Structure 1
Amino acid sequence: MTAEEEEEQFVLQMAGALKEKQLVRHVYAALQAASCPLVEGLYLQEADSMLQLLCTPSQHRTDILAWICSSINPNLANSKTIAMGFKGPDVLTKEMAVLGQELMLCKADDLDLIRGNVSPYSQLRFLEQLLTLIPGCKESAVHRADQEMLLNELFAAENLPNFTQMLKPTLDPWPAHIKALHMANKSSCKPSREGAADVTALLQLTQSTLEQLKSECEFLSSDAQSPGVLSPSSLRVAACDLQVLMATFCRVFETDLRSYCSRDPPSFSTETDVFQRIHQLLLAFITELEMLKEVSEASVAMNEDVNKLQTQPRYWSRGDNRNLPDQLEELTRRIRDFSSLLHS
């Protein structure tokens, strides 16, 4: 292995170790936030001690993992008691692996992960994902981390002079450049007499101009006249409106209406007898169609009556109930009999 490869591997190892230390602090803080009874009273400060606790195979580590799993699935607590009492810890290890598979965090045969025989980073990631499933653990851990971050920021080295000044408060005067700037702002805010005189003259000129305009516009005077009297101001306004309307009409007439007004009036054709003849023929045709319709309706009605005579029976002079063909046949038979009697 070359020197560059060794240096690169060393850098990667250092980065991995730093990442593991940050992660183990986060997991340990999450356990404290979740009020895990197995980490109470430990007061670990070093990351190596936390790694020794959480990533080294031991009964304490197994109990912590079992507590996390039982917090997620309370049914696992009874299984833990039965397994530890009768079948040994392997059954509990398998059940925790099955729970991890159900949560899609590991496989059912990842027993080395449950026992702590894999890399610390994999174990810490597994513990971190399990802790996020405990209700209220994530919010408490974030709140605790925020508090620790705030305390670290407050007690940083650059903030110590501020705490010293808080213990011995004194009212220091403003710096010289701030005081000079403040005085300059005050002096600039004072109005000068020359500027005030110019503003007064401008206001007087504006007032006189407004009064002159008011005198020229008599219709703006406050003396209201009666509606029945035609005042010169009203005539002036009406004339102005009429002038505007006439100018508008002239422009519209020149652009749009003149071409229509200069046309000759339309001439009507004198050959109206053709249209009259066509109208008469159409009326006659309509009359014939109506007559044909009536004839057709009468024919249909007559056909129905004939069909009724031929098909429906009726009573004849002698009280016989026969239809027309049967009655005709009966009459024919009688005539034949009568003729035979005459010839005999």
Structure 2
Amino acid sequence: MAGALTEKERVHHLYTTLQRVSCPLVEGLYLQEADSMLQLLCTPSQHRTDILAWICSRINPNFANSKAMSMRSKDPDVLTKDIAALGQELMLCRADDLNLIRGNASLQRQLQFIEQLLPLVPGCIKTSGHRTDGEVLQNELFAAENLPHLMAMLNPTLDPWPAHIKALHKGNKSAYKPQREEAADVAALLQATQSELEQLQSKCEFLNNESSSATIFSPSALRVVACDLQQLMSTFSHVYETDLRAYCSRDAPSFSADADVFQRVHKLLLACNTELEMLKEVSEASASVSEDVKQLQTQPRYWSKGEKRTLPDKLEELTRRIEDLLSQRSS
């Protein structure tokens, strides 16, 4: 079996693919040695992070906006987390696999991650020179030297079928013996079940007493029912003729077309109700004012000079003082 590609061959293919898709971050580098390519793509650096960010922005155009926001953020790991989140959406890594994004993971994981991520870039065409492990395995499996083994698998020497299946396939009559024995067992079970049912039926006497159920539909019972029905119909006919016919034969009442009278009456009643409610509120307000005035007249209050008197007493005092003043002026 042909061996898998070496790390140097894989990284050389990745670098060539980046040049083919016109990645601006590898233009003008002109790397020739595989070690330099490994240092570029698999060593932690800002250049490597920018390459991954460019690949992500080509896969998802909205990632460019996220990258711009990450550059303005104070957290240096924002861009790394965004790349890891996109990798999780593509089912290539976990969201917390930040070491892989930074370049601190193993060389195999980093190469595998970039190999799975780079073909998703629009315009990236897989070349025939680079084949995945599945393609290598498929080519190896269908190689010319392995065709005899495939034919042996299709026509095995040892028949894998079970014994009873082989017997059916070959038409062996002995294979039907277990089925006959099974049918005999089923017949015996059915016979035993039928015997038990017959015993239960003999114990249930009400199932065998057909005369009791037949009396329900006897002619005498039907005659009694018919007589009852006739009496009910006769009673209803008498009530209808004496009391109900006059109401049933009466003409339908005719309604007057002057419906506006009822509308005017309805409006007047509504206005009357409104006025009554207003009068009720006025009465309640008057009663409240009367109560307040009564309290002013009966309950003593504090006036000037700290004296506590009722309103009539205070008015009487004021009247007396005014009279005294007038008498002093007149004298």
TM-score, structure 1 as length reference: 0.36
Higher RCO (CA 8 Å, separation ≥ 6 residues) = 1
TM-score, structure 2 as length reference: 0.37
Max radius of gyration: which structure?
1
